[in-house]
Structure 1
Amino acid sequence: MSDFEGLRALVTGGASGIGRATAHLLAERGARVAVLDLDTATVDRPLLGHRADVTDDTAVRRAVSAAAADLGGLDVLVNNAGIGARGTVEDNDDAEWHRVLDVNVVGMVRVARAALPHLRRSSHAAVVNTCSIAATAGLPQRALYSATKGAVYSLTLAMAADHVHEGIRVNCVNPGTADTPWIGRLLDAADDPAAERAALEARQPTGRLVTAAEVAGAIAYLASPLSGATTGTALAVDGGMQGLRPRPAAR
């Protein structure tokens, strides 16, 4: 496909996991792509790397401006940078709540705020926020993480309403448990990594983890000019976790 031919895209958190898969997919489909990440050492051509911490507004504005200058403008923003958190409401102190909210929610706000002047000059402007199944389903031991992703879901709808008349589409993708470096680290820290992986796989009706490439495909769909009538939408990529209630397979 070449639906992104001539378009310019910025992917935050694009050096690994879902962000990396998305950046490469957009490039394969014709876009010029810049990546914004804390560490861009692994970012290779044709991607352009820009270092920034999404909790630093000055650094974000500088990096977004530099990326737009390198690309010659900006048509697509993939707001993907984020961090995880485990535990119930009792397990994380105020400092950790502020830290994760600052990255996962306010970080998206900072990047979007810096990108909007560039997006307004595009004829195919699109923003895709990486949300989560945790925004719409109650998951155990994910109170803080779920709160941030619930905020991302609401933020997506509000942004879509605010900017629809400017020709800027805003959507989000809601992955289930994806096979990413963060999940890999959680599994490594578990008492029984194999049993923990099996439990995560079993709670998704497809019986397996979502791949980064599958989430990237959904992000590309939402960002593509071919989806010009799609805005204010949350697209689940969760192996049926949100909507399906299958009966156990017959033995």
Structure 2
Amino acid sequence: MNTGFIKMQTFNTIFKNIIALLLLTMALMPSYAQTPGGKAATSGILDEQIDLQQQLIPLDNIIDIAVAHSPSVKFQQDLIEAAKSQLNFSKLVWTNNIMGFVNYSSGNQSIISSDSQSAGNLSSSNITNGYRMGVQINLPLYELVGRKSRVNLYKYQLNSTVDKRDETIEALKRNVIQIYYSLLYYNNLLNIRSEAKQSAISQLAVAQKQFKDGIIDIAELSRLKVFEVNARADYEEAKREFSIAYFQIETFVGVPVQQLMRK
């Protein structure tokens, strides 16, 4: 038996195992930041080495921004202002029954007045031209008995409009909270799937080399190929879910994600 040949085969086997170990070690390192189409390509601003929650501003601040930019909340606020104006108008509608007038008269108008210098005697005078002015108030009974009910009606309408706005804000808060934590979840899941995909790709590369060298059989190579395909599919699904959550939070908040990042 050729001892040198045996030693050479042993050396080749050890060398191959070292190469395989190095490839597996590299696969376990976070690397999806360099993956084409990965999260970095989606956001362009997120640091994959830092937890996403630490990069975003506090959730309370995000909710405040969402409320300030929400078209639904703005719509309800406009209805509140309209209800306030209607209430104020209903309190002043009684003035519609007050009428002032000014006119000019010409002709012979007799005005009889008492003569303060001659007690008991009456003196008369003629006025041919003059202005006449005054105020006329006609207050219907409806204004006396129905004003309070009318004002209360508009008060209740104003209160219901305020309640509707508050309901809209609460629904918006729930949606923002849900999508915020969905974004964090899918971000973490995407990191995990990226590591799994790179590991599967590296294992398959090693297995293909080992198959050529006769170290493993076709069944083992096929198993690792299926594992690699599933890992890539899981990564693409996680990337899709993250992208949906990423752009949904922009829709709910009303500003780009860049404005939600800590300075």
| Structure 1 length-normalised TM | 0.27
Q: Which structure has the higher relative contact order (CA within 8 Å, separation 6+)?
A: 2
Larger Rg: 2
- Structure number with the higher helix fraction is 2
